Structures are given as structure tokens and as C-alpha cells.
Chain A
């Protein structure tokens, strides 16, 4: 009964078909973590993309700030069933970072300060679908939400939007990440409700 009434409430609030199946709306911003929050000083922060043939591309925080940014407003969907609509971010499109990267790899393993990992096909990171986000709702991204910078890939469940992101390894073979090796779905499309392995 609880599940039915929560979903019903979500629709009545005017989410206009923007809630994927099984999700309910929240207006706060829940914090989920699998470990202590890393504190990364900006003068030691870096972001790297490693290609499948071992070439490393590296950006310092200053490098990142010089790149053109975008201000995506997107709906986000957590696999634990909350969704939040119209979240406002600022960050650099991964298309910009990948401009200088030569690679034919199809898979990406995203890794974070603190050791978290998550995997996605490279095509899900390109063509305006993913950002390296460093501001949320007009403020610097708070450490508990992944600051100084997190990945933002809103078309898949939010565990793919790695907090405290440190880099991307491009791979010829898919390699499952932290939650993908513990029962969660390898891809995680909220519209197909791909929560767990086998969904």
C-alpha cells in the first residue's frame, strides 16, 4: 500500500511522466555513501583520462576552470528509488574533455578519490549526455555530494554519476565497477528499471 500511494503522490505533484517506474519524488537531496568523504584540496586535484594504449591526458583544477562550461538542468534517479527533478548543475561536458583524446575503446571505468569505481559504455559519456560537474544549485559542489567535482550522467541511475571523480580508464573490455560487482545492473537504465543483475 505504501508503495502504491507514494507513486500516486508523485504523479499528482505534476511530474508529467518524468518519474521512471518504481521511483518516488523527493525535494531534499539524500546523501548515500559507501565510504568516508574524501577531502581533496584543489591544488592537488587532478582529472585523468587513460586510453587503452596507455596514453594519459591530465587536467588540473586550473585547467578545468579554463574550459567552457555548461549549466544542465536535469532529472536524477537513484536506484534506491528516489528521483529529484530539475536539478541545476554547472560543469564541463565530457565531449570537451574527449576532444583531445584519441581512442577506439568502447568501455569506460570511472574511478574516484576514495576508491569508488563505476563502468559505462563510452558512448554514454559523449554527445551531450555527461558532464564533469563542480557546481550545484548555484554553489560549489559540497563534499558530501561529490565535490570538488563529480560525474553527472543523468540518463542512468545516479550511482553511475561517481562522486569525487578522479579519472576515466578507457578499455577494450568492459570491467564492472563497485556496485556492478555486488548485484547491481551493469548498465542501469531507470526507464527499463535495470536495478539488479538480470533485470
Chain B
């Protein structure tokens, strides 16, 4: 197998357009093998036709992002959940 992928930091731009915070620090769990880690550690293929981000442990697809001219498609098929770091919530 070749290893001609980018790292998960390549997702910063396309995900910045969709989410309010930097998603590369979000910690996800692979639905394939259970490996847990920040999105920045994913193996990313792309940019064209879209970004495909794979688990560094099992190479299953964790997420995909396709940017069309007037919409983005986001597929989170391989992420059980994402822990997204946020600043302290305002006390209610």
C-alpha cells in the first residue's frame, strides 16, 4: 500500500466552513475498530473529488466532505461520536 495521504489538519479548511469551531481538535471514535483520537490524526485523501478521512488504525472511512459550488456534503459514517472542545458555558 502507498501512503500518499495528508494528515487530518487538511480538514481544517473544509470543516471550518461548516462548524463554528476548529474541528481538527475534536476527538472521535472509529466505528470500525474503536480507535479514539483527534481528527487531526486521520489519514486524509483528496481534495478531489472530495476529502476522504480514514482511521489511522484500520483505514476505514471515518468522514467525507464534498464541497460543491453552492453546498457541502458531510458524511460522518465512521465516527461513533465526536468530543468537540468548547469554552466554558455561561452559568445559567
Contact = CB atoms under 8 A, between A and B. Distances in A.
A184 interface: yes
Contacts of B37: none
Contacts of A33: 4, 45
A80 B75 contact: no
Contacts, number: 59
A171 B52 CA distance: 27
A45 interface: no
A44 to B, nearest CB: 15
A128 interface: no
Contacts of B3: 36
A78 B47 CA distance: 13
B75 A182 contact: yes
B59 interface: yes
Interface residues of B, number: 23
Given A182-B64, A196-B68, A36 B49 contact: no
B29 to A, nearest CB: 20
Contacts of A197: 68
Given A183-B66, A183-B73, A34 B45 contact: yes
B14 interface: no
B1 A80 contact: no
A144 interface: yes
B68 A36 contact: no
A36 B52 contact: no
A147 to B, nearest CB: 12
Contacts of B54: 35-36
A38 interface: yes
Interface in B39-92: 43, 45-46, 48-50, 52, 54, 59, 61, 64, 66, 68-69, 71-73, 75
A34 B52 contact: yes
Contact of A35 (B50, B59, B75): B59
A77 to B, nearest CB: 13
B4 to A, nearest CB: 7
B73 to A, nearest CB: 3
A181 interface: yes
A162 interface: no
11 contacts: A32-B48, A34-B45, A34-B61, A35-B45, A36-B54, A79-B49, A144-B2, A179-B50, A183-B71, A183-B72, A183-B73
Task: Kindly list the 10 A-B residue pairs having the minimum CB-CB distance in the complex, ordered from nearest.
Answer: A183-B73, A80-B48, A34-B52, A183-B66, A36-B1, A196-B68, A37-B2, A182-B66, A182-B73, A182-B64
